Amino acid sequence: MDEKSQPLLQPTPSDPPPDYETSAQEHAQTLPIREKQPAPPAQARRPPPPPGALLDLPILKYMRTHRVILASASPRRRALLTQLGLPNLEVRPSSKPEDLSKAALGPWAYVSATAQQKALDVYATLVDEAATKQSEPLPPPQPTSSDPAANADPAADRSRKDPDLVIAADTVIVTRDGAILEKPGSAEAHVKMLRHLRDTRSHRVLTAVCCVAPRADAQHPGYAMAAHVEETRVLFARERDGLPDDVLAAYVRTREGVDKAGGYAVQGLGGALLVDKVDGAVDNVIGLPVRKCLQLCEKVIFRQNETSDDEEDDGDE
Catalytic residues: 170
Could you give the dihedral angle defined by the CA atoms of residues 246, 251, 253 and 257, in that order, rounded to the nearest 10 degrees? Answer: -140
Shortest CA distance to 204 belongs to which of 169, 167, 235? Answer: 235
* CB distance 285 to 236 below 8 Å: no
- Integer CA distances (angstroms), 30 to 23, 24, 27, 42, in order: 11, 7, 9, 34
* Distance, CA of 218 to CA of 215 (rounded, Å): 5
Q: Are 294 and 61 in contact (CB under 8 A)?
A: no
